[in-house]
Amino acid sequence: MFGSLQALPADPILGLLAKYREDTNPQKIDLGVGVYKDESGHTAILDCVKKAEQHRLETEDTKVYIGPTGSPLFNQTMSELIFGASHPVLLSNRARTVSAPGGTGALRVAGEFINNVKSGATIWVSNPTWANHTGLFEAAGLEVKTYPYYDYENKCLDFDGMLAQLKQLSSDDVVLLHACCHNPSGMDLSQEQWQQVVEVAKSVGFLPVIDMAYQGFGDGLDADAYGLRLMAESVDELVICSSCSKNFGLYRERIGACTVIAASASAADVANSVLLSTVRCIYSMPPAHGAAIVETILSSEELTAQWHQELAEMRDRINGNRKLIVDKLVENGVTRDFSFITRQKGMFSFLGITPEQVQQLQDEYSIYMVGSSRMSIAGIANSNVDYLAASIAKVL
């Protein structure tokens, strides 16, 4: 049976990581992988996470299943983190949250849930979007189409094009939106633009799905959730996929959440029954360790305060790196305007160079980024930024 199989190409980012590891150049720079790195290039465990794990080590007394919904305390604390404790959706009991294996697992659950509601529904994603969105939703049985989002030539949002496309949709359509720190462009909607998108969603009646993988990495926990919270209080139905990989540094623990909002508490109960059936048929029960870490932190004033501080340090470092690389390019005589990098949010930015120049950076200077010139800002450091800027200047 397997004899008819043909090898599929490796994931571009994973393939890039493998090449980086094999490179023996001591000056090599990894700008491909989407994980936070400190100044030394290390992705350390947060101190608040270590304390929460120690607490779990001392108090955990069983490894029994925790049920398809996951930990109720995790679901509650995550809901309050996403919406804010006094959000109307929570006060009216219209939201139902389940634990999922990371943000990717939450997206797959959302896709399968939507397909159960409307088989073969069309989901519209931004152009560009995270590369795995298309595969996830197609595997769940949905048809994927794109709406305009990033203007590559002018290095800004194509908001007029986006809004025009969304106005043409129907109530049978689904629209995926990035809550903050858009992956891969780094270009986020302003509060005023979010208000316009919400008005279109209300008018057209499409189902919004909001992917929030980077809450706290843009402007702050509350500011990054502005659009999501506005949408939640403005429409009857909404699906949210959230992740704890980046803001808690729990990449390998694979913990996230899928939240469904319905028009009423009773409708939310019905939707939740379908959501749990979907979960049961994919992975049955979610992992527990990451959820226990998050709920321990969010249930402790001391650990929450420490987490806020550590998260702010990560956010400030990334935002500082944006200005740093722009300044260094100017110092190296680059006349092209790269100031757009400082106006973006989160982990990523398109450098805006050609695929040939990206390949030249890799071949001649051991600088690795995706062929689209998407680079991970977290890979920049004081120790490598001069070499990086000089190399880009030479390629340009």
d(CA 225, CA 212): 8
d(CA 195, CA 4): 51
d(CA 235, CA 16): 41
Active-site residue, selected from the candidate residues 28, 37, 124, 130: 130
Q: Give SS3 for 333.
A: coil
CB 313 within 8 A of CB 36: no
d(CA 300, CA 52): 10
249-253 contact pairs (CB < 8 A, 24+): 249/36, 249/43, 249/44, 249/45, 249/46, 249/49, 250/49, 250/290, 250/293, 250/294, 251/35, 251/43, 253/287, 253/289, 253/290, 253/293
Q: Is 38 a catalytic residue?
A: no
Active-site residue, selected from the candidate residues 30, 211, 307, 345: 211
Q: State which amino acid sits at residue 361.
A: L
Taken in order 295, 311, 28, 362, is the CA torsion positive or negative?
Answer: positive
Contacts of 141 (CB under 8 A, 6+ apart): 111, 112, 115, 119, 120
Q: Give the number of other CB atoms < 10 A from CB of residue 336.
A: 11
Active-site residue, selected from the candidate residues 28, 246, 328, 345: 246
Q: Is 246 a catalytic residue?
A: yes
Query: What Å distances lie between residue 91 and 82, 179, 315, 366, CA to CA?
Result: 14, 22, 31, 53
Name the one residue in this structure whose structure tokens are 């959706």. Answer: 89
d(CA 22, CA 138): 33
Q: Is 307 a catalytic residue?
A: no
d(CA 275, CA 110): 8
Residues annotated catalytic, as ranges: 130, 211, 246
